Amino acid sequence: RKNVAVRERVLGEEHADTLVSVNSMALFLCRAGNREVAVRLQRTTLEALIRLEGPEHPDPLRARADLVELRNMQGRHRDAERIATETLVALNAVLGREHPETLGTMAQLARALHEQEGYEDAEALNRQVLAMRTTKLGESHPDTLDTQVQLGLNVFRQGRVGEAMQLLESATAVADRSLPRSSWRRAAIMARFGECLTVIRRFDESEKLLTGSFMVLKRRNPHEAQRVARSLVDLYTAWG
């Protein structure tokens, strides 16, 4: 908020740098649980960037990519799929297939497909993203680890439990040694593994991961904390 206020005062509300900062703040607000405010801010910012720079400038393309993430966080996965598919055409043409924004949008498209039970298509996308992120960012980068976890979930949902466990255990081990314990992204990775452990009835291990993740996420990312809270209810219901 402070960064946005400074840019508004110095550059003006309609300056591209100000709008980019507002767009970033919208994502932060959504993770903090202020979804309605976040969506309103993001929509206004995207419209202003398109008006100022044109629809295929990198700034509005990044804002459209962020809109895909917002729609996934809202649970509007069909909308996220549609926007991601449209945006990827422009991102590939303007920024290139291996650009971080392009890969991020591919990953969000995979997430939207997964949530609509399109597990095979999501797996195919995540395998591409994982290969490129591993090459460009390294195996311990949070984006790479997140993609590996999402791939593990795709595989898990298709019943290939052994393969999924290898992916999830590997990602969790790397996150545990390479990311700070206060990192919400580390906590989210641990939580996803915990959710799968509940399904295969490894309840003690699941509880440890989910409760530890929840303590971090309720401070760092309330949106993710809500999901983990539901996962804890599922755990204790299954455990009896």
Is pLDDT of 228 > 60?
Answer: yes
What is the rounded distance in angstroms from the CA atom of residue 69 to the CA atom of residue 142? 16
Quick one: CA torsion of 73, 76, 77, 78, rounded to 10 degrees? -160
Q: Band the pLDDT of 99: cuts 50, 70, 90.
A: very high
Structure tokens at 25: 């703040």
Please calculate the CA angle 160-170-105 and round it to the nearest 5 degrees. Answer: 80
- Predicted confidence at residue 13, as pLDDT, reads 55
Q: Band the pLDDT of 1: cuts 50, 70, 90.
A: very low
Average pLDDT, stretch 192-197? 98
- Tell me the per-residue pLDDT of 142-190, one tens digit each, with 9 for 90 and over: 999 999 999 999 999 999 999 999 999 999 999 999 999 999 999 999 9
Is pLDDT of 37 > 60?
Answer: yes
Q: Band the pLDDT of 51: cuts 50, 70, 90.
A: confident
